[in-house]
């Protein structure tokens, strides 16, 4: 058993390689960000394969959760082990670009074997340079993963409860055309995602929980114009139209969730090197539903993505947004998510990075009387050993307070991991 635990810890630690592997990406070379900045003495060197570089990694770890099923009462604690292999292939061309990423992460629980699972994804993104100032960019992705307990279904031990986390897949992609006219950059494109849920078996046997009324295709067409006031500052305006087409005419309770929507916003992006970079925007958004039972949802949209560098050893980040999201909660057309997060990364020593993060989200469900308030926090530490290994440890906390008591829970997760990379 000790050998198994040691092997799992070694393999699980490798799962965090993607975070620090960014430091080897040429596109990130100019950033002052504490986590992603290049560190030649500790970054993976990669394997040269002609005009490409291959970055393989393997992470292995162990952890502990004090609320495995994310339940309001009758909480169950358990230890778990993880393994996370990843391959990143990056082109090294003077023109154009092509990148491929493949990852799988597996979880094994000591006692609650129902939570054993593997999430995996594959993505390809690239850019074709047409001429100076013009290019076509695109990406294709496939993800096969499991929904967090307590998101849509609750319970896990009683007869009729979901016997395992709900699994789903997302297949999609996007394509954009970008062109620069002197100081004016214009982009236009489209994206689509096909989201498919699998049925969830129940404890004690019997008919599985039917999730196919959540299957949908989400398409969006967008355009953006940015005027570069200075080389470091730009003003932009953008708009988008979306279509959410559910594959079943109505859900299990007789509601049609099909909708179309639009949003328009404007803002500014800026880059004051080694001081402050990011963007701010605000606008208006609306979502109109096919069912007469649902009223339209509309209102302000806004967001921010900022990084502040008080010193070269510290990065303070802020992210926030207000968006309209789909839901499968009975009688609700969707919910308005208003969220924000502040994080701090500090380079304590050249090879020791400490990070902290705290976030808050309000999910306001439409057409019903329900609001969820979610507080999250985490603390992480990374010890860079050399170009081939680093060690990670961390704590995750989530407190969800819902008007529906069944979805109210608090959970703490702790983990240790060792990452091997090339």
Is 60 exceeded by the pLDDT of residue 112? yes
| Residue-level pLDDT at 253 | 86
Give CA–CA dist 26/22, Å, rounded: 9
Domain boundaries, the chain: 2-421
DSSP three-state, residue 115: helix
> How far apart, in Å, are the Cα atoms of 332 and each of 129, 149, 172?
45, 20, 26
Written as six digits, the tokens of 115 are: 């939570």
**pLDDT tens per residue across span 243-272:** 999 999 988 888 999 999 999 999 999 998
User: Which DSSP state fits 215?
Assistant: -
Mean pLDDT of the chain: 91
Is 225:201 a contact under the CB 8 Å cutoff?
A: no
Q: How confident is the model at residue 211 (pLDDT cuts 50, 70, 90)?
A: very high
Give CA–CA dist 407/332, Å, rounded: 15
- Mean pLDDT on 9-32: 41
Give CA–CA dist 290/347, Å, rounded: 52
Least confident of 65-79, 145-159, 303-317, 355-369: 145-159
Q: How confident is the model at residue 280 (pLDDT cuts 50, 70, 90)?
A: very high
| Residue-level pLDDT at 401 | 96
Written as six digits, the tokens of 133 are: 């100032």
Q: Which of 53, 54, 44, 47 is nearest to 21 (CA)?
A: 44
Q: Report residue 316: phi and psi, to 5°.
A: -110, 125
Count of alpha carbons within 13 angstroms of residue 222, beta-carbon side: 19
Q: How confident is the model at residue 5 (pLDDT cuts 50, 70, 90)?
A: very low
- Mean pLDDT on 346-375: 97
Give CA–CA dist 164/188, Å, rounded: 41
| Residue-level pLDDT at 85 | 98
| Residue-level pLDDT at 28 | 43
Helix (H) or strand (E) holding 143: strand 134-146
Q: Give the angle 94-98-100 at the CA atoms, nearest 5°.
A: 145
Give CA–CA dist 260/349, Å, rounded: 51
- Mean pLDDT on 400-419: 96
Is 70 exceeded by the pLDDT of residue 12? no
| Residue-level pLDDT at 31 | 52
Q: Which CATH class is domain 2-421?
A: mainly beta
Is 60 exceeded by the pLDDT of residue 3? no
| Residue-level pLDDT at 6 | 35
Task: Determine what percent of the chain is predicted with pLDDT higher than 90.
Answer: 84
- Mean pLDDT on 278-283: 97
Is 70 exceeded by the pLDDT of residue 15? no
């Amino acid at each position: 058993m000790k050998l198994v635990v040691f092997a799992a810890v070694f393999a699980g630690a490798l799962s965090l390689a993607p975070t620090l592997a960014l430091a080897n990406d040429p596109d990130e070379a100019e950033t002052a960000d504490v986590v992603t900045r290049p560190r030649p003495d500790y970054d993976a060197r990669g394997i040269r394969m002609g005009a490409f570089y291959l970055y393989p990694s393997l992470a292995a770890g162990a952890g502990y959760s004090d609320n495995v099923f994310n339940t309001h009462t009758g909480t169950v604690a358990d230890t778990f082990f993880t393994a996370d292999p990843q391959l990143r292939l990056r082109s090294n061309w003077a023109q154009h670009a092509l990148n491929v990423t493949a990852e799988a992460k597996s979880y094994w629980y000591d006692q609650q074997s129902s939570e054993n699972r593997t999430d995996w994804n594959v993505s390809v993104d690239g850019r074709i340079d047409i001429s100076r100032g013009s290019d076509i960019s695109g990406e294709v992705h496939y993800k096969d993963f499991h929904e967090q307990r307590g998101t849509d279904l609750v319970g896990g031990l009683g007869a009729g409860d979901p016997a395992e986390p709900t699994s789903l897949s997302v297949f999609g992609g996007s394509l954009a055309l970008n062109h620069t006219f002197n100081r004016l950059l214009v982009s236009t494109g489209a994206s689509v995602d096909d989201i498919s849920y699998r049925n969830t078996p129940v404890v004690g046997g019997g008919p599985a929980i039917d999730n196919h009324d959540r299957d949908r295709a989400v398409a969006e067409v967008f355009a953006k114009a940015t005027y570069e006031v200075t080389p470091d500052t730009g003003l932009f305006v953008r708009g988008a139209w979306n279509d959410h087409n559910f594959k079943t005419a109505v859900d299990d309770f007789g509601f049609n969730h099909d909708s179309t929507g639009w949003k328009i916003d404007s803002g500014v992006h800026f880059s004051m090197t080694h001081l402050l970079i990011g963007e701010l925007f605000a606008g208006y958004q609306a979502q109109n539903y096919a069912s007469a039972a649902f009223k339209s949802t509309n209102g302000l949209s806004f967001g921010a993505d900022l990084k502040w560098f008080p010193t070269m050893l510290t990065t303070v980040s802020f992210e926030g947004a207000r968006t309209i999201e789909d839901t499968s909660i009975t009688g609700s057309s969707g919910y308005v998510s208003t969220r924000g997060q502040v994080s701090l990364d500090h380079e304590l020593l050249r090879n020791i990075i400490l990070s902290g993060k705290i976030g808050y989200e309000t999910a306001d469900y439409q057409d019903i009387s329900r609001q969820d308030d979610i507080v999250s926090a985490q603390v992480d530490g990374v010890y860079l050993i050399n170009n081939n290994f680093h060690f990670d440890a961390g704590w995750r906390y989530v407190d969800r307070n819902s008007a529906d008591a069944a979805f109210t829970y608090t959970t703490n997760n702790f983990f240790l991991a060792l990452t091997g990379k090339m």
